[in-house]
Amino acid sequence: MVRPLFLPVAGLALALVSAGAAAAPEPLSDRLIALRSEIEALNHELDLLREEQRTTLAGLAAQRAELAAGVDRQQLAAREAQRKLDEAAARIAEAGAGGDALRPLIEQAVDALELHVRAGLPFKVEERVAEIETFRGQLANGSVPPARAINRLWAFFEDEFRLTRDNSLHSQTIALGDERLLADVAKLGSMQLYFRTRDGRVGQAVPVAGGWRYVVAEQPDDAARIAALFDALKKQIRQGYFELPLLAGAAR
């Protein structure tokens, strides 16, 4: 007699259903809780990034305002120097061509020029003052006639005006702490002066009471920005967008 086959098949189907029930996924509520926690963590991270961005933008806005104020001060100094030169030229014209009448007026203009150099950015001050002193000596001993001295004085002032517009790379001796050492300097018009020593230290010339002080950039980001400026100037890139630090004690 042949046995029916439906009973074993039904038993197999029941076994498969039981196995499927045992492998059922975790409850939906647990998954939702895990996803909610992940979303909250991401939102917190996003808030931190937004706050960091706001802080960075505020800092950049402050630096932009400081640099704009520096430009205004330098333009004012240039206009003042121009005014003094114009006044000296007017007095010279009124005094006539006599050498004795011209010499005191030229000497006053030379004194004003030296004061401007010493009070300005510490860029090759010793060399510039030495040239003025040489000119003053030539004027005093008569080796340069007053008529020629006027032209030479005008050339001095033109050089100073050119320095206010020039972004360039030079070498000069700086006083860094107790050291006097040769360094590369990046001059940005007559606004800012950054330096890089031969041993890799970088920083900025900072105005202090009675003069200037060279400050090393301690933060890696500040040092990297200054190094990027030197690299650009070395490649003859004198125009463009640069983020540069104003180190502690810089003009506000």
pLDDT at 114: 93
112-to-100, 106, 132, 189, 207 alpha-carbon distances in Å: 20, 10, 11, 20, 21
pLDDT at 148: 85
What is the enclosing helix (H) or strand (E) of 195? strand 192-197
| Whole-number Å distance between alpha carbons of 243 and 88 | 41
3-state secondary structure of 219: coil
pLDDT at 225: 94
Pairing of strands 211-216, 202-208: antiparallel
- Which residues, 6+ apart, have CB-to-CB distance to 163 below 8 Å? 123, 187, 189, 190
pLDDT at 94: 61
116-to-74, 91, 121, 122, 219 alpha-carbon distances in Å: 11, 20, 10, 11, 33
Q: What are phi and psi of 167, to 5 degrees?
A: -105, 115
pLDDT at 92: 60
pLDDT at 10: 44
Q: Which residues of the chain have pLDDT under 50?
A: 1-24, 250-252
pLDDT at 89: 67
pLDDT at 68: 74
**pTM, to two decimals:** 0.60
Residue 114 near residue 129 (C-beta atoms within 8 A) = yes
